[in-house]
């Protein structure tokens, strides 16, 4: 499905007038068949869950229903992520696929013949749902895991600098004004199983301290987790508080041929995050943890994740959020 919709749109664009008319008629027939299938479905009330519902006219060209139990009306998209959306499942899946593949918003908008702002809003609803899901159902790291930090230059894309801000605006691709790790960098703490799941979260600037590491990893590790770190003392807090075991990858090496004690896997995850950040010419810092949630889900996946993300996005009860909510609530402010 990744390129099927784009291919169909391009074919329609190149059709002569007679062929275009036939294509539209065929699409209308297909849509009518789908609508008839939907009419045979009995939708439960999204407010009380009752199946005692009757048809109740139309609302904005959508079939409306009335619940006989709670006496409230609704349409099939009420309280879903598709409420007030003019795009269907196919378009949403293509936006998800482009988000997973790192396609720019402008390219997605051009391919789907949508406005840039529309795709931007759709993408951030998807990212918002992924971040909320990770907060509500934190990923558990088990077995041998690696942990380390990487640093992303702060970005204020889309924001006007207030008068007297502590630094001047930077152009895309610019570097920090100071060498080394400074408060201009956002610290991304990452952990990853050697053959499985990953997490990444930002909670502070510059170097991560004990409190930051405990805040990031506290909900993601357990008694059976063994963390391999680069020797940073901050990770000892995980062992001191009894959350998990911690090994120093540098000190535990017994000989040069011992390849067990290394953090190459998490360093590869860091490279993936930085590459995606570079391709986007910097993610706005306030949205960084939403992209971290996306990267944690898609990194090293061996199967198509578009359907998984779509099901997560669409099958959540009362997951409807407004554009204002997705772009103002739960932002990273550090």
Query: Has residue 162 been placed in a domain?
Result: yes
Ranges of the chain with pLDDT below 70: 1-3, 32-42, 250-259, 302-303, 315-319
Residues facing 153 on adjacent strands: 185
Query: Has residue 1 been placed in a domain?
Result: no
Q: What was the pLDDT predicted at 233?
A: 86
CA distance 152 to 284: 11
Give me Rg for the CA atoms of the chain.
24
Residue range 257-283, pLDDT digits in tens: 566 788 999 999 999 999 999 988 889
Query: Has residue 225 been placed in a domain?
Result: yes
CATH of the domain at 282: 3.30.420.10
Residue range 87-110, pLDDT digits in tens: 888 899 899 999 999 999 999 999
User: Dmax over Cα atoms in the chain, in whole Å?
Assistant: 76
Q: In what order do the strands lie in the sheet with 144-153?
A: 198-205, 185-193, 144-153, 226-229, 245-248
CA distance 331 to 210: 23
Q: What was the pLDDT predicted at 37?
A: 58
Query: Has residue 218 been placed in a domain?
Result: yes
Are the CB atoms for 5 and 91 separated by under 8 Å? yes
Query: Has residue 168 been placed in a domain?
Result: yes
Q: What was the pLDDT predicted at 258?
A: 60
Q: What was the pLDDT predicted at 34?
A: 66
Query: Has residue 156 been placed in a domain?
Result: yes
Are the CB atoms for 139 and 296 separated by under 8 Å? yes
Number of domains comprising the chain: 1
Query: Has residue 169 been placed in a domain?
Result: yes
What is the domain range of residue 190?
139-299
Q: What was the pLDDT predicted at 99?
A: 93
Query: Has residue 105 been placed in a domain?
Result: no
């Amino acid at each position: 499905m990744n390129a099927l919709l784009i291919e169909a749109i391009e074919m329609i664009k190149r059709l002569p007038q007679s062929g275009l008319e036939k294509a539209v008629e065929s699409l209308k027939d297909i849509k009518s068949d789908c609508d008839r299938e939907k009419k045979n479905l009995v939708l439960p009330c999204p407010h009380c869950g009752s199946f005692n519902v009757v048809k109740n006219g139309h609302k904005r060209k959508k079939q409306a229903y009335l619940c006989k139990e709670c006496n409230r009306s609704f349409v099939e998209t009420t309280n879903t992520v598709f409420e007030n959306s003019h795009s269907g499942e196919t378009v949403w899946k293509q936006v998800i696929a482009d988000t997973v593949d790192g396609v720019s918003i402008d390219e997605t908008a051009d391919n789907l013949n949508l406005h840039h702002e529309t795709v931007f809003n759709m993408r951030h609803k998807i990212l918002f749902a992924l971040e909320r899901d990770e907060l509500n159902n934190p990923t558990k790291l088990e077995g041998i895991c690696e942990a380390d930090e990487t640093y992303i230059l702060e970005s204020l894309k889309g924001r006007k600098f207030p008068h007297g801000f502590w630094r001047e605006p930077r152009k895309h691709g610019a570097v920090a004004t100071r060498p080394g790790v400074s408060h201009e960098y956002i610290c991304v703490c990452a952990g990853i199983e050697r053959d499985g799941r990953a997490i990444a979260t930002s909670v502070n600037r510059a170097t991560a301290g004990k409190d930051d590491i405990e805040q990031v990893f506290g909900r993601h590790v357990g008694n059976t987790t063994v963390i391999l770190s680069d020797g940073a003392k901050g990770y000892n807090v995980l062992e001191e508080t009894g959350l998990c075991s911690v090994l120093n990858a540098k000190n535990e090496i017994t000989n040069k041929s011992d390849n067990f004690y290394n953090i190459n896997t998490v360093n590869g995850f860091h490279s993936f995050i930085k590459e995606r950040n570079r391709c986007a010419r910097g993610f706005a810092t306030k949205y960084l943890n939403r992209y971290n949630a996306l990267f944690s889900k898609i990194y090293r996946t061996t199967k198509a994740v578009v359907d998984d993300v779509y099901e997560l996005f669409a099958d959540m009860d009362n997951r409807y959020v407004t554009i204002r909510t997705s772009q103002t609530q739960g932002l990273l402010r550090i």
